[in-house]
Chain A
Amino acid sequence: MKLKPRILTIALCLGLAACGSEEGSPPAAGTETEIPPESEVVETGSEPAAEIEPEVAMEDSPETPPAEPAGTVEEDDPPAEVAGAAGNGETVKVGVLHSLSGTMAISETSLRDVLLFAFDEINANGGVMGRMIEPVVVDGASDWPLFAERARGLLEQDQVSVVFGCWTSVSRKFVLPVFEELDGLLFYPVQYEGEEMSPNIFYTAEAVNQQAIPAVDYMLEQGMEKFYLLGSDYVYPRTTNLVLMEYLLSKGVPLENIGGGFDRDEAGNITSAGKYTPFGHTDYQQIVAEIQQFAAGGNTCIINTLNGDTNVPFFREYAAAGMTSDTCPVVSFSISEDEFRGLPARQLVGQLGCWTYFMSLNTPANQQFVENFMNWLAGTEVAGIEKENRVTCSPMVLSYNGVYLWKKAVEAAGTFDTQPVLEQLRNGISFDGPGGTVTTQENHHLTKNVYIGETLPNGQFRVIRTFDQVYGEPFLLGTFAGGGEEEAGAVEEDAAE
């Protein structure tokens, strides 16, 4: 038997596979000097493998568009020195920490793109305090401990002034201690569950009262009486739904009209409300049947915090059951224009979304932003950027806003140091972004407009309601008056349903 070719075949297969399997980003990604496949091994160790960090990070920097004077930045300069010198021709290092591979790559690469766009835009207009932004892009690879390692690398080795990044709440929770320990600054752009306010993180994201609560208000206004809570099984949906439950109870919606089931602790207090399915769940038959019975009496809506592609089997089952946006509308919090690229938009027509930005916003600022971004996409030479069928969405715009807010804060503070910049941010800095004016708040969140949109067949939203300048409030659990403990007890038997 010819042994050799066989072994070769196997080796070839495995080798190719190893290169390929973790590569989330599209075509040209293979040529990109991203994370070498070996770094997969690094991820599993809980020890931050500091020795290889510098290499990895430096391998990434060639990806950055502006030519860098490699010699000068390589020096081991402490941040204070960097901050003090506002000389010409110097650069300021800025970290971009997103998953460019793995399951989250589909969403997060868009944020990397828009960040690079914002840096280029700022650099073309003279940079920040005369210094060009030099992005250091690292890949979190959808691996939460790796996010922490990368964050440490960015702060310790690259000495970046600020980091823009993270998508999932888990990744944020992992990097949080690193930023607090090393006194870094992170801008976090994606809607999240609140109940957090790190002194070193600035949340440009939608807080629950800037997305879920306005959406529920709108549904109440539309005469909805029953609410079914459905979400993916992780921290954001669970916390959001708990807040929503309290909010609904405070609005006089009885517990029996909140669907999806409840978990209780020994004392009978509700610890979780709503129905949760794991990532990648495909079988929604039973859940849809349950919703159908729950919604049979009319005036029912579904509050959907399902993430990513699990929405597809859910909406297919929902449509097959004969439900429509007229009989039982769905408000989704995790489906933006960007996610629509992978969803059958036709099946979602008429369903609602709530964000602080929509691509369809009919304002000159937004049109200019979309046009500039599309032009930048067409012209960019950064490897691995998808150019076809691109859209803009709320997390992208919040990332973009974050860059400009940071720029303004730096200019106001006159330094790149973390604390003075944060001080300026806390004092309130406004920026007229594509989604309207945003203003930073004392509590590290943003005041911004909230929009409710209805899905169109082309995957865009038509804005049907605007809430102007909503104050971002992260701590909501237990704050709603008339919260439901006593009510919860009264309708105990119904809650089982």
Chain B
Amino acid sequence: MPSRFLIRTLLALTLACFTKQAGGQQGGHVIVGEPEPTELPQPGGMIQPPANAREVVIEALMSTDPAEQAALVRSLLGSGDPDAVGLLTAWREGYIYYHDDFEGDRFPVRFDGEADGVGRRNVVRLDNGEPVPGVGGQPMRATENQLELAFTDSRLRQAMRSVTDMAALVADNHNRRLAAVRGIALEQNPDKIEALELRLPLEPSRQIQREIEVAIAMSQLRLPEREIKLAACRELERLTPIPARDTLRSLAREAETDGDDELAAAATDALAAIERHITRVNAAGTVFRGLSSGSILLIAAIGLAITFGLMGVINMAHGELIAVGAYTAYIVQCVFQSGLRLSPFGYSVAIPGFNASEGWFQAYFLFAIPLSFLVAALVGLAIERTIIRHLYRRPLESLLATWGLSLVLQQLFRLVFGASNVQVESPVWLSGNWTVYGVMFGWNRVFVIGFALLIILVTYLFLNRTRFGLLVRAVVQNRQMAACMGVRTERVNMITFAFGSGLAGLAGAFLSQIGNVGPSLGQSYLIDSFMTVVVGGVGKLIGTVISAFSIGMADQSLQQILLNPVLGKILVLLAIILFLQFRPKGLFTTQNRSLEE
């Protein structure tokens, strides 16, 4: 395959420039601490294995001085030893341990082989790979907790990244390359410019190419030559990378004190360009965040738009139906893991889990979505049959009854799941993000927006394109007439309420990915939901959609402008109060039977 050939060539090239650069290091670049002279490749030498990475890493591991550790790790930057990256990665990710043997010698070890029933594995020395003798001369076996983990602090991890990033420049994985280039840019090490320049024309991804250009320009700012700095400033003005802001700022200040007006001006221009870029990024980001806030409001309110908006039931237990959905997601998650033990009312209930593999576990949320809908719909059905059915014409009593019900349900959650919050993990595919020109689109948010739109579509089709939807609309418009025409209004009410409750459950499943899942989850969304539905106009779905997005947008814009999360919300609420003074029926008005009575 051509790509593999390409990569091999690249690797060779990078290795070559590693050595060159090591020469440069000897030449004058200051490194912290003084590494052993023998570890450094000779200036001008070719690829030199004697810089034995393993020895250096072990020396670093055995050192007790953090500064020396970091310096030793950094000294590996020039070595062409492929061991270095593997060892440093193992160290950083916590695969290397210390062991004190019977003679009191201390040395780094790692695990090898398969774990046995109690999680014990073979322990081997890091330096020569030989098994560590345990009690009675047998090879030592241990669990992870029995050994002392080799620790890294953030300074050391930075040093490690400095080394591993160079190797990751030629990684297969796009994201790893991207992260590596970004790391190198922040490091601003002029010695790496050469390697970056070699890599630039070979980099297949346009995005990473741009980042490499940024990294080169940012590193050039650290070079002593004024001309290069000037050119780098111009380059940064073109590229407008946000990370360069801090360096440019200090450069501008330095140049000003040195009286170098041209350089100061160049840096200031670059800064101004970056600030303009940030303004654009913030504007786009605000639109996206507004959409996502709006979607959350919409998802939370859509169920209420049906039960309250269409059916006229002031359902104070709507929030708890959301919580039902969220807890369902939690249960599904636990079932995909190792099960869950509940002790409601003193009984102990164990729900077995099937310890799904990582891949399956990541998919748990896909199962949680329909189940949340179903469970909440069933709960809604039960509520409708037992309580709400008797109160259709009595909005005040239904308010009281559902409010009481909401408290009962909250207490039930406490009894079953405990008073503290439960942990619902986000699947990996929901926790990444996608960044375009500095605007970040979090997957969870994109997913919520997409799903909000999907729910609206489904609800719209359900109400307007199905026979049952027709019946619902008929009952909403005029129950008696519908009953006279032979519509079983009781049944329609029941199913409509269950559908609305199901949508609330769906909301719960999504909200579990964003916030807390606890007994009072519903309370925090209830007010917002009512607000959205009332502003939108009771009885009109489209009103709910538009009001949700408007409130979301207004909230996020105000937050962005005022840089204060609280003030924005207050202003939005004030605006809503004013709005309702002038349009008490909301954005869209309809003739609605139940509230008029």
Bound complex: CA A18 to CA B408 (Å): 9
For residue A343, which residues in chain B have a CB less than 8 angstroms away from its CB?
A: 421, 423
Given contacts A297-B247, A320-B432, contact A17 B514 (CB under 8 A): no
Closest residue of chain B to A103 (Cβ to Cβ) is B520
Given contacts A17-B407, A20-B407, contact A9 B387 (CB under 8 A): yes
In the complex, chain A residues 258-306 whose Cβ is within 8 Å of any chain B Cβ? 261, 275-278, 280-283, 285-287, 289-290, 292-293, 296-298
Bound complex: CA A24 to CA B410 (Å): 11
- The answer to whether B566 and A233 touch across the interface, beta carbons within 8 angstroms, is yes
Given contacts A293-B242, A464-B151, contact A320 B566 (CB under 8 A): no
For residue B242, which residues in chain A have a CB less than 8 angstroms away from its CB?
A: 293, 296
- The answer to whether B518 and A21 touch across the interface, beta carbons within 8 angstroms, is no
A139 contacts the other chain (Cβ, under 8 Å)?
Answer: no
Bound complex: CA A321 to CA B440 (Å): 7
Closest residue of chain B to A27 (Cβ to Cβ) is B415
Bound complex: CA A9 to CA B408 (Å): 12
Q: Give the contact-size bracket for chain B.
A: 35 or more
- The answer to whether B419 and A320 touch across the interface, beta carbons within 8 angstroms, is no
- The answer to whether B556 and A223 touch across the interface, beta carbons within 8 angstroms, is no
Bound complex: CA A322 to CA B419 (Å): 31
| Residue of A1, A10, A312 with highest tally of chain B CB at under 10 A | A10
For residue A290, which residues in chain B have a CB less than 8 angstroms away from its CB?
A: 563
| Residue of B346, B386, B514, B516 with highest tally of chain A CB at under 10 A | B516
- The answer to whether B407 and A21 touch across the interface, beta carbons within 8 angstroms, is yes
B186 contacts the other chain (Cβ, under 8 Å)?
Answer: yes
In the complex, chain A residues 305-358 whose Cβ is within 8 Å of any chain B Cβ? 309, 312-313, 316-317, 319-322, 325-326, 329, 341-346
- The answer to whether A344 and B278 touch across the interface, beta carbons within 8 angstroms, is no
Given contacts A280-B524, A281-B565, A309-B421, contact A316 B407 (CB under 8 A): no
For residue B114, which residues in chain A have a CB less than 8 angstroms away from its CB?
A: none
A162 contacts the other chain (Cβ, under 8 Å)?
Answer: no
- The answer to whether B155 and A222 touch across the interface, beta carbons within 8 angstroms, is yes
- The answer to whether B516 and A20 touch across the interface, beta carbons within 8 angstroms, is no
In the complex, chain A residues 1-28 whose Cβ is within 8 Å of any chain B Cβ? 1, 6, 9-10, 12-14, 16-21, 23-28
A112 contacts the other chain (Cβ, under 8 Å)?
Answer: no
Rounded to whole Å, the gap between the CB of B437 and the closest CB of chain A is: 13
- The answer to whether B407 and A342 touch across the interface, beta carbons within 8 angstroms, is no
In the complex, chain B residues 221-254 whose Cβ is within 8 Å of any chain A Cβ? 241-247, 249
For residue A27, which residues in chain B have a CB less than 8 angstroms away from its CB?
A: 343-346, 415
A106 contacts the other chain (Cβ, under 8 Å)?
Answer: yes
B362 contacts the other chain (Cβ, under 8 Å)?
Answer: no
Closest residue of chain A to B92 (Cβ to Cβ) is A326
For residue A25, which residues in chain B have a CB less than 8 angstroms away from its CB?
A: 419
B95 contacts the other chain (Cβ, under 8 Å)?
Answer: no
For residue A20, which residues in chain B have a CB less than 8 angstroms away from its CB?
A: 407-408, 410-411, 414
- The answer to whether A14 and B404 touch across the interface, beta carbons within 8 angstroms, is yes
Closest residue of chain B to A310 (Cβ to Cβ) is B516
- The answer to whether B401 and A321 touch across the interface, beta carbons within 8 angstroms, is no
For residue A238, which residues in chain B have a CB less than 8 angstroms away from its CB?
A: none
Given contacts A17-B407, A278-B566, A286-B556, contact A321 B442 (CB under 8 A): yes
For residue A248, which residues in chain B have a CB less than 8 angstroms away from its CB?
A: none
Rounded to whole Å, the gap between the CB of B498 and the closest CB of chain A is: 20
- The answer to whether A10 and B400 touch across the interface, beta carbons within 8 angstroms, is yes
Bound complex: CA A282 to CA B444 (Å): 14
Bound complex: CA A287 to CA B513 (Å): 18
Partner of A317, one of B244, B247, B442, B518: B442
For residue A256, which residues in chain B have a CB less than 8 angstroms away from its CB?
A: 249
For residue A152, which residues in chain B have a CB less than 8 angstroms away from its CB?
A: none
| Residue of B420, B442, B443, B564 with highest tally of chain A CB at under 10 A | B420
Closest residue of chain B to A282 (Cβ to Cβ) is B515
Rounded to whole Å, the gap between the CB of A437 and the closest CB of chain B is: 25
Rounded to whole Å, the gap between the CB of A235 and the closest CB of chain B is: 16
A448 contacts the other chain (Cβ, under 8 Å)?
Answer: no
Closest residue of chain A to B397 (Cβ to Cβ) is A10
Given contacts A10-B404, A320-B431, A326-B157, contact A297 B186 (CB under 8 A): yes
Closest residue of chain B to A463 (Cβ to Cβ) is B151
Bound complex: CA A293 to CA B153 (Å): 24
A462 contacts the other chain (Cβ, under 8 Å)?
Answer: yes
A226 contacts the other chain (Cβ, under 8 Å)?
Answer: yes
A186 contacts the other chain (Cβ, under 8 Å)?
Answer: no
Given contacts A20-B411, A106-B419, A222-B153, contact A10 B516 (CB under 8 A): no
B122 contacts the other chain (Cβ, under 8 Å)?
Answer: no
- The answer to whether B420 and A16 touch across the interface, beta carbons within 8 angstroms, is no
Bound complex: CA A285 to CA B292 (Å): 9
For residue A19, which residues in chain B have a CB less than 8 angstroms away from its CB?
A: 411
Rounded to whole Å, the gap between the CB of B548 and the closest CB of chain A is: 14
For residue B157, which residues in chain A have a CB less than 8 angstroms away from its CB?
A: 326
Mask of B181-215 contacts with A, CB within 8 angstroms, 1/0: 00000100000000000000000000000000000
Rounded to whole Å, the gap between the CB of B440 and the closest CB of chain A is: 6
- The answer to whether B243 and A298 touch across the interface, beta carbons within 8 angstroms, is yes
A105 contacts the other chain (Cβ, under 8 Å)?
Answer: yes
For residue B241, which residues in chain A have a CB less than 8 angstroms away from its CB?
A: 296
For residue A341, which residues in chain B have a CB less than 8 angstroms away from its CB?
A: 420
For residue A283, which residues in chain B have a CB less than 8 angstroms away from its CB?
A: 293, 555, 565
Bound complex: CA A21 to CA B520 (Å): 10
- The answer to whether B155 and A289 touch across the interface, beta carbons within 8 angstroms, is no
Closest residue of chain A to B158 (Cβ to Cβ) is A223
Bound complex: CA A280 to CA B516 (Å): 9
For residue B285, which residues in chain A have a CB less than 8 angstroms away from its CB?
A: 289
Given contacts A16-B411, A297-B247, A329-B154, contact A287 B565 (CB under 8 A): yes
Closest residue of chain A to B343 (Cβ to Cβ) is A27
Bound complex: CA A292 to CA B564 (Å): 16
Bound complex: CA A27 to CA B420 (Å): 12
| Residue of B149, B286, B563 with highest tally of chain A CB at under 10 A | B563
Rounded to whole Å, the gap between the CB of A348 and the closest CB of chain B is: 11
For residue B432, which residues in chain A have a CB less than 8 angstroms away from its CB?
A: 320, 322
Given contacts A278-B566, A285-B293, contact A14 B400 (CB under 8 A): yes
Partner of B245, one of A12, A106, A222, A296: A296
Across the A-B interface, the 7 shortest Cβ-Cβ residue pairs: A17-B407, A13-B404, A20-B411, A297-B246, A298-B186, A320-B442, A342-B421
- 27 A/B residue pairs, CB under 8 Å, sorted by A: A12-B404, A14-B400, A14-B403, A14-B407, A20-B408, A25-B419, A105-B419, A222-B153, A222-B155, A223-B154, A275-B563, A278-B565, A280-B524, A282-B516, A283-B293, A285-B442, A286-B556, A289-B285, A290-B563, A293-B278, A298-B243, A313-B515, A313-B516, A317-B442, A319-B426, A322-B432, A326-B161
Knowing that A19-B411, A280-B524, A344-B423 touch, tell me 11 more A-B residue pairs with CB under 8 angstroms.
A9-B386, A9-B390, A14-B407, A26-B418, A226-B246, A285-B289, A313-B516, A320-B432, A325-B154, A342-B421, A344-B424
Residues of B participating in the A interface, judged by any CB pair closer than 8 Å: 149, 151, 153-155, 157-158, 161, 186, 241-247, 249, 278, 281-282, 285-286, 289, 292-293, 343-346, 386-387, 390-391, 397, 400-401, 403-408, 410-411, 414-415, 418-426, 431-433, 435, 440, 442-445, 513-516, 518, 524, 555-556, 559-560, 563-566
